[in-house]
Amino acid sequence: MSESNPHQKKIKPQTLRGFRDFLPDQMMAREHLIDIARSVYRSYGFAPIDTPALEYAEVLLGKGGEESDKQVFRFTDQGERDVAMRFDLTVPLARFAAQHAQELGTPFRRYHIGAVWRGERPARGRFREFLQCDFDTIGTTSNTADIETLFVIHDMLERIGITRFTIRINNRRVLNGLLEKNGVLHQSAGILRALDKLDKIGRPGVMAELVEKAGLSDERATSILNLAELKGRPNEVLGILDRMLAGSATGELGVAQLRELFASAEACGLPAERVCLDVAIARGLDYYTGTIYETLLSDLPTIGSVCSGGRYDNLAELFTSQPLPGVGASLGLDRMLAAMEELGMTRRASTPAPVLVTMFDDSHLADYLKMGRQLRQAGVGTEVYPEAKGIGRQMKYADRRGFRLALIAGADEFAGGIWQIRNLQDSAQIAVPTDAVTRTVVELLQQS
C-alpha cells in the first residue's frame, strides 16, 4: 500500500453547478416517488426499458428544436465519434422503437426512468442533470392512448398525495389549424415557441415576438393570440373553436379529439377542476403533433409543470419507414420533489428501516442479532446498532436517522425475558415479552 503524501495538494470537494449529490434522506424521498410512478405505470400495462446515456449526435440533434439543440451536451468520443448526452427520454425511444420494432410488436407500452442532461441555466427545481420518469404508447394513432395518458397523469398525482392540481390540455392540431387558415403554417416552429412563453412574458411580449421574430402581421398575430387566450369550460371553448376552425381538416380533427377526451374524462370520474382545456399551451419541443399536457400544482403554480408530454406521430420517421406514432408524458421528478418539500409533504428520514435494535451488553450480541433477523423475516426493516453504547448516544442516532421504533434490552430485560419498545415519535415506551415483540412491532407500525 502506498503511503500518503502530506505535501500533496488537496482537491476541494465540490459538485459542478447545476449538478447535485443526494444524501440518504433525499434519496429515500426520490425512491419513494419513483416507486409510486413505477406502480401506476405498471397498473396500465407499461413495461420497463432502458437506453444508453450517450447517443450518436445525429440521433438527438434537430429533434427538439433550436433551443433544445443549444442545451445538448455534445463532444467527440475519443477523437472519433460525434456523440451527445440524451436531453430527454423520448428521442432515444424513437431510435429504440425503430431499431426493435419487429421484436416488440405494436402497440407497445413502455416506461423509462433515467437521468437526462441539459446545459440550461440552473434555477429553482431546474438542474443540468435530472431524472425523468417517462411512459409512452407506441404504434397507434388511437385517441384512446391519448385519453389514457391523461388518466395515468391524474392517477399518479393522486397517488403521490397531491389533491389540488390542474392538468392543462391542448392539441397541436388546433393550433396548426389556425395557422393553416392564416396561411402561416410554414412558420409554425417560431410561432409555437412564442406562444409557449405566454405565461412568462405576457401578451405584449408574445405579440412582439410573433411580429419581430416569426414575421407575422399584426392582424395575424392578434388572431393567433385571441385563440390562445380563449377561456371557459371545455365545451364552451370547443364550441368557439368549431367556428374558428371550420374548413380546416387539421383543426377540426384536433377539436374532435379534445371533445372525446374531455367527455371520457367526465364519464370516468375525473374531477372537472383537475382537467382544463388551455389553447395557449404549445409545448416548446417541435416533435409534438397532437394532444399535449402540462400539470400545474394549484398551491405552487410558479414552480412550473411537474408532468408534461404529448403526442408525436412523426418522431421515428428519420429512423424507419415504418409508421411508429406515439404519445406519452414524463414526471419531472426533481421538480416534483422540490414542490413537495416546499409544501411540507416530505418526511425526513435517512434510513429505509423503521426499527432500530439498540445494544447495551456485548455478551448478548447474539440476542440482539437474533431479534433483528426475526423482525426482518417478518417483513420489518431493522437495523442493529453495531456497538454497546449509552442510551443517549443511541437515541440521538435513532432520531437523526428517522427510525420510528427502538428496541431496548439490557441485563434486567434479558433476565426478565422482555424487551422495551420505544415509540420515537412520542417517546411512549412499553415492555413486551420476547415472544410477542415481532407481533407488537408490526401492530405499532401499522398504527403510525
Total Cβ atoms within 10 A of residue 295 = 26
What's the rounded Cα separation, in Å, for the pair 350 and 383? 12
Are 150 and 44 a contacting pair, CB within 8 Å? no
Q: Are residues 318 and 370 in the same domain?
A: no
Of 163, 80, 64, 77, which is closest to residue 117 (Cα–Cα)? 64
User: What CATH number is associated with residue 428?
Assistant: 3.40.50.800
Domain presence at residue 239 = yes
Answer yes or no: do 292 and 255 share one domain: yes
416: Cβ–Cβ under 8 A, 6 or more apart, which residues?
none
Report the distance separating Cα 277 and Cα 322, nearest Å.
32
Half-sphere exposure of 305 (CA within 13 A, CB side): 20
On whether residue 306 sits in a domain, the answer given is yes
Query: Looking at the structure, do residues 284 and 224 belong to the same domain, yes or no?
Result: yes
* C-alpha cell at position 431: 415492555
Query: Does the residue 11 lie in any domain?
Result: no
Could you tell me the end-to-end alpha-carbon distance of the chain, in angstroms, rounded to an integer? 50
Tell me, yes or no, whether 192 and 228 share the same domain. yes
Which H or E run includes 242?
helix 234-244
Q: Are 339 and 297 spatial neighbours (Cβ–Cβ below 8 Å)?
A: yes
The 8 Å CB, 24+ separation contacts for 156-162 are: 156/36, 156/37, 156/40, 156/307, 156/331, 157/295, 157/306, 157/307, 159/36, 159/39, 159/40, 160/33, 160/36, 160/336, 160/340, 161/345, 162/297
What domain range is 213 assigned to?
24-342
Do 376 and 410 lie in one domain? The reply is yes
Which triple of cell numbers denotes residue 52? Answer: 444508453
Rounded Cα–Cα distance for residues 331 and 393 (Å): 41
C-alpha cell at 157: 398525482
DSSP string, 378-440: TT--EEE-SS---HHHHHHHHHHHT-SEEEE--HHHHHHTEEEEEETTT--EEEEEGGGHHHH
What does the block give as the cell for 263?
A: 367527455
Handedness of CA 53, 56, 62, 67 (dihedral sign): positive
Domain membership of residue 15 (yes or no) is no
In CATH, what number is assigned to the domain containing residue 287? 3.30.930.10
> Same structural domain for residues 239 and 388?
no
Q: Are 278 and 169 in contact (CB under 8 A)?
A: yes
The verdict on residue 14 lying in a domain is no
Name every residue whose Cβ is closer than 8 Å to that of residue 334 and which is 6 or more positions away in sequence. Answer: 125, 127, 130, 131
Looking at 195-304, which runs of residues are DSSP E strands? 275-277, 291-297
Helices (H), 327-390: 333-342, 365-377
Domain co-membership, 154 together with 37: yes
Residue 133 lies in a domain: yes
Evaluate whether 22 touches 31 at the Cβ level (below 8 Å). Answer: no
Pairing, β 74-77 against β 81-85: antiparallel
**DSSP for residue 107:** S
Number of domains in the chain: 2
Last residue of a domain, one of 342, 367, 386: 342
- 349 in any annotated domain: no
The CA distance from 236 to 250, in Å, is 20
**Of the residues 285, 316, 342, the one at which a domain ends:** 342
- Domain boundary (284, 309, 342) is at 342
**Per-position pLDDT tens, the chain of length 448:** 456 677 788 999 999 999 999 999 889 999 999 999 999 999 999 999 999 999 999 999 887 677 778 899 999 987 789 999 999 898 899 999 999 999 999 999 999 999 999 998 887 667 899 889 999 999 999 999 999 999 999 999 999 999 999 999 999 999 889 888 888 887 877 887 888 788 788 888 989 988 888 888 888 888 888 888 888 999 999 999 999 899 999 999 999 999 999 999 999 999 999 999 998 887 755 678 999 999 999 999 888 899 999 998 887 888 998 889 999 999 989 889 889 989 988 877 889 999 999 999 999 999 999 999 999 999 999 999 999 999 999 999 999 999 999 999 999 999 999 999 999 989 999 999 999 999 999 999 998 7
| 365 shares a domain with 244 | no
User: Which of 441, 442, 444, 402 has the alpha carbon at shortest distance from 29?
Assistant: 402
Q: Do residue 288 and residue 419 come from a single domain?
A: no
